[in-house]
Amino acid sequence: MTRLLYIEWIKWRRFRPFQILICLYTILFFLICFGLDDIILDKVIGDLTMGNYSSSIILEEYNPYKFPFAWHTFAFIGKFFKILLAILIINIISYEYQNGTFKQNIIQGLKRGEYLFGKFMLVFLLSTYSTLLVCIAAIIGGLSYSTVSEINFYENSYYLFLSFLNTFTYLSLSVTMGVIFRNTMTAFVILMLLWFPGDMLWLFIIPENFNMYRPFEVIDELLPFTVHQTSVWKLITVSICYQFFYWMVSYFKMKKDLT
């Protein structure tokens, strides 16, 4: 495992798109989280203004930057930025196919399973990094807006795991798109078309009771805007099943490419 991680690090640490997209991802995430905090708070006040309640009372009860809401808030914001990581993953896969790095790794002794496991570890690390940013932002926001008596640090912290799962599932699909289409632009466009209108087409195919388990709907529902409409454990189970399916498709497609 360490050897595969080292190989991936050596290959991509100086890869310019890797550096640019990681920096862009980090900067944009914190800019949106804290640069637009007044706008986000005003939106919450506008949505929750009822009767004679003042804005100060509303923020006292429902401030999304306070603990324990901060975990959910920043995980929800973070899920919109995973598209940058998806572009990065697709770019890496396409680059290796187009430049022959994929076959060269195999010729030099790397097994197909090891090659794919290296990409699995890369996706794992990017998902972990994404979750770490969410954690840092939630801690900063929570401590900044909460009083000492209000800090309940661990309540709702499970959203960190859901944030990781959300990103990991999406990036796993991105690996599959990269392996199948081998071209960054083509793979990305197909990925977007699968999301819309592709994901909507499932509504005409599958029974209504299973609508919530559509590929992109499951990813989105892991981090809803308000509360979960479906059992969290069901969503986690279905997400893991999708991950297994995506990695198996990638493996057999790579196996076919080498025969």
Q: Give per-residue pLDDT as tens, 75-102.
A: 999 999 999 999 999 999 998 888 877 7
Give tens-digit pLDDT for 142-182: 888 777 666 677 888 999 999 999 999 999 999 999 999 98
In whole angstroms, what is the distance from residue 225 CA to residue 206 CA?
25
50 inside domain: no
Give tens-digit pLDDT for 4-17: 777 788 888 788 88
pLDDT average, residue stretch 26-48: 76
40 inside domain: no
The pLDDT value given to residue 149: 65
Among 45-49, 65-69, 101-105, the least confident range = 45-49
The pLDDT value given to residue 124: 95
151 inside domain: yes
Per the structure, the complete domain to which residue 196 belongs is given by 2-35+66-257
56 inside domain: no
The pLDDT value given to residue 49: 53
Count of domains forming the chain: 1
Return mean pLDDT, the chain: 85
In whole angstroms, what is the distance from residue 157 CA to residue 250 CA?
32
Confidence of residue 229 (pLDDT cuts 50, 70, 90): confident
191 inside domain: yes
The pLDDT value given to residue 221: 93
